Structures are given as structure tokens and as C-alpha cells.
Amino acid sequence: MRIWKLIVASFLFLCGCQGSSRHEVVTGGQGSLEGLRFLPPDHSRNVEVDTDPEIFWLPGYEPPAKFTVSFKRIDEYSDYQPVATELKSSGTNRWKLKVVGTLDEGSLYAIIVRDDTRGEIRESWFLTEKSRIRSPDEKARNSETFEHTIILRAPNQTK
């Protein structure tokens, strides 16, 4: 019996570390999505791929009694793809979506918050940076990959 409990506990621990793309938050508050803000702000560009998005309510505003927050990558077909995150409280009326891994370069992401009591939804979109060059050696390797010299010869031209 003890072995089974250990196996189940290990399984739950390992599955819990993978994160979720959707989180329900029960605050008991009486507010709404009014005063809700996002980090990075809506329509941000060149956001670093190691960014952990945040949501928060401005002072004087309160979150709804229950809301759901999700994080999605928008693919080339405009489909929403779930991104695994862990939701962490980062202050009063403030939550951080800790991304499991890193974000994809040059990708569009959406933070979606739904007021579960009223059905209202707010979204904030941002675009990650296209390339992160960290060292001159890495820059040289990346340049070699994408630069090619092509010499064209006329059909009747010889060496």
C-alpha cells in the first residue's frame, strides 16, 4: 500500500511540474475586468523570449470573484495553441504566468482573462523578438548559416 501511495504521489508531483495553459482564480472579490492591465502591455513588440507575463488590477479596482487566465501562442493559421504556465501570486491583485520553458522567437502570444461571473473576456497580444544574438561567435555561426555566395555563368561561357 505504501508503494502505491509513493507512486501516485510521484506521478502527481511530476505532472504538476508541467504547468497548465489555463488557470482558475477564486478571489471572493466584487470587481470586474475594469482596471485590468497586462505585462507586457497590449501590442508590445520585440518582447524577450524569457519573459513571464503578468496580469494586475490598478489601485482602486478589484478583480472579479472568479476569473480564468490562459496563455496561448497564435500560430500561422491564427489558431490558439496552449502554452504551459504556472500561475503565481506576485502581489495584491497581481499574478505572474511563469512560462514552463521559453517562448518561441518571432511569435505572437495572447494573454486571455475571462470574468467567470459575467462572461466578459479581455485579451492582450504581444510579439516576441525575432533573434537573440548573445556572442560574436554565435553571430558568426548564424551569419554563416544564412549567407551564401552564388556565381552565375552564361550558358556559353567557359572557365
| Residue pair 116/67 in contact by the 8 Å Cβ criterion | yes
Phi then psi for 59, rounded to 5 degrees?
A: -55, 140
pLDDT of residue 143: 47
How many residues are listed for the chain in this entry? Answer: 159
- What is the spatial distance between Cα 102 and Cα 84, in angstroms, rounded to a whole number? 10
Cα angle 104, 105, 110 (rounded to 5 degrees) comes to 60
Reference 82, options 55, 101, 57; nearest CA is 101
Q: Which three cell numbers stand for residue 15?
A: 505532472
pLDDT of residue 19: 82
pTM: 0.71
- What is the spatial distance between Cα 36 and Cα 27, in angstroms, rounded to a whole number? 14
Q: In the predicted model, is pLDDT for residue 17 greater than 70?
A: no
Q: For each of the domains in the chain, give its residue range(s) and CATH number, in order of start.
A: 24-132 (2.60.40.3780)
pLDDT of residue 15: 45
| Per-residue pLDDT reduced to its tens digit, 85-140 | 999 999 999 999 999 999 999 999 999 999 999 999 999 999 999 865 555 555 55
Q: In the predicted model, is pLDDT for residue 155 greater than 60?
A: yes
pLDDT of residue 137: 58
pLDDT higher at 8 or 77: 77
pLDDT higher at 46 or 3: 46
